[in-house]
Structure 1
Amino acid sequence: MLLGLFLVVVFAFFSGAVLVAFQRLGLPLGVALTMFIFALIGSFINIPIAEERAYEPVIKLREVSFFGFLYPIPYFEMEERRMIISINVGGALVPLSIVLYELIRIAMLGQYDLLFNTTLAVLIAALICNAVSVPVRGVGIAMPSIVPPLVAVLLGWLLGDGNPTLVAYVSGTLGALLGADIMNWGKLKYLGAPMVSIGGAGTFDGVFLAGVIAVLLV
């Protein structure tokens, strides 16, 4: 009973924080709520986008007969491993759609200086995220979860040009996505997992949370 109540309170706090972050970005309440619902539902949907193949040495055994006795002899054989790379709707596509909306909006408003600063912030955030990300075999790309939002907050303050919230969200989201996932694409096939999902943890994924936390902190 207490555990259920605790989970309800945590979910209410989390959903409220996400909605506040979306509204601070300029999304109307109805749109913010819709995007949050899409993110929750989309957490369970992974769309395959690529397949990677790698060849790895595998130890196998064969039996050799010697004077009527069978002896196991180990040997190496190159074995093909296939990996499906997919993208999660809730953890990646929803935040990407918000980023795209914000970039189109400032471009239509003619705020090209802000657009340039945002692009520069994304580049810096991606390079930093890539520097601290580490491929972990059997797990995926690991990165300290606090790095993307903190970097995004600093970039929002430095390059915000009157709109630090937008710069923080875009650089936090794209910085985590590009730096940790896309820039490590060539290493994914060596992780030893049958499938890797970009944004696979849904609303609790680093790509989704980086932008939200950055907006709340800026």
Structure 2
Amino acid sequence: MPIAFILLILMLPFLLLMLFFNVATISFSRLGLSPAGALLFLTASVLGSLINIPLSRRRVVVQEHQVFPFPLLFFYYPPVVREQVICFNVGGAGLPVLFSLYLLLTGRAPLLPSFLALIIVTVVAKLMSRPQPGVGIVMPAFIPPLVAAAAALLLAPSGQTAPVAYVAGTMGTLVGADLLNWRSIQELGAQMVSIGGAGVFDGIFLVGIIAAFLG
């Protein structure tokens, strides 16, 4: 096997990663960021996905206590208790919320179309998200971008579909998948549950990339 072919195979993941970063940078720059700002935001989002800020801690009962009575003996097994930490993911929740507020406050994303599209994405995200014991909230990653894009195309004025799709897709996913499942999140046995974390981060991240191509 030629050495050049082996080197190409070894470098293929790196080349695909660079291609992805280039496409993502171009897409985010179409949302109003400079190329350097888009690259910085993209990098911060990826690195921020590794950072979870604790919001609350509580003790949850994983297994109730058990009592086994016998004629002469009495066995008692105490409940299995675990500490659960509710966190706020920087890359999947913090940065998307801040950028959405920026788009709204600067007028790039008009308020009424963004709000209506957000409601649509929220409803779909709520219906499609599922609490998974031991993991958190999971949802197909391609659902929020497609729904947000369709809603923005229907509701947003010409030239403002990309910002509307981004606001609706990111905020709608967080509200529908995470906040509206708050009670289910607290009932999960996972030791750490992150708002905007692994279960919904992919969808939120893809929203930004797909939304930008609508502009």
What TM bracket, shorter-length normalisation? Answer: 0.7 to 0.9
Cα distance in 2 for residues equivalent to 1:92 and 1:126: 15
**Residues 85-118 of structure 1, C-alpha deviations (whole Å, 9 max, x = no match):** 1122122222222111111110xx8x8xx21110
Aligned CA distance change for structure 1 residues 139 and 160 (closer, same or farther; 3 Å): same
Cα distance in 2 for residues equivalent to 1:141 and 1:42: 19
Q: Is 1:211 aligned with 2:212?
A: no
5 Å-filtered alignment, 1:178-189, equals 178-189=175-186
8 Å Cα contact 2:84-2:193 kept in structure 1: yes
Deviation (angstroms), 1:204: 5.6
Deviation (angstroms), 1:138: 1.0
**Residues 165-191 of structure 1, C-alpha deviations (whole Å, 9 max, x = no match):** 111111111111111011101111221
User: Mean Cα displacement is larger for which, 194-203 or 44-53?
Assistant: 194-203
Cα distance in 2 for residues equivalent to 1:8 and 1:133: 32
Q: Is 1:198 aligned with 2:195?
A: yes
User: What percentage of aligned pairs have identical amino acids?
Assistant: 38
> What is the SS of the residue equivalent to 1:127?
helix
8 Å Cα contact 2:142-2:206 kept in structure 1: no
Unaligned stretches of 5+ in structure 2?
Answer: 1-6
Cα distance in 2 for residues equivalent to 1:203 and 1:17: 21
User: Mean Cα displacement is larger for which, 48-57 or 5-14?
Assistant: 48-57
Cα distance in 1 for residues equivalent to 2:142 and 2:32: 24
Residue of structure 2 aligned with 1:164, choices 146, 161, 166: 161
8 Å Cα contact 2:145-2:203 kept in structure 1: no
Residue of structure 2 aligned with 1:31, choices 37, 43, 46: 37
- Over aligned residue pairs, what C-alpha RMSD do you find? 2.9
Query: Number of residue pairs matched?
Result: 208
Cα distance in 2 for residues equivalent to 1:77 and 1:187: 25
Deviation (angstroms), 1:4: 4.2
Unaligned stretches of 5+ in structure 1?
Answer: none
Deviation (angstroms), 1:22: 0.9
8 Å Cα contact 1:92-1:202 kept in structure 2: no
1:199 counterpart letter in structure 2: G
Alignment-derived partner of residue 48 in structure 2: 42
Cα distance in 1 for residues equivalent to 2:34 and 2:9: 33
Cα distance in 2 for residues equivalent to 1:202 and 1:27: 27
Q: Is 1:153 aligned with 2:149?
A: yes
Aligned CA distance change for structure 1 residues 2 and 52 (closer, same or farther; 3 Å): farther
Aligned CA distance change for structure 1 residues 189 and 217 (closer, same or farther; 3 Å): same
Q: Is 1:103 aligned with 2:116?
A: no
TM-score by length of 1: 0.82
8 Å Cα contact 1:153-1:215 kept in structure 2: no
User: Mean Cα displacement is larger for which, 115-124 or 206-215?
Assistant: 206-215
Aligned CA distance change for structure 1 residues 120 and 203 (closer, same or farther; 3 Å): closer
Cα distance in 2 for residues equivalent to 1:204 and 1:9: 23
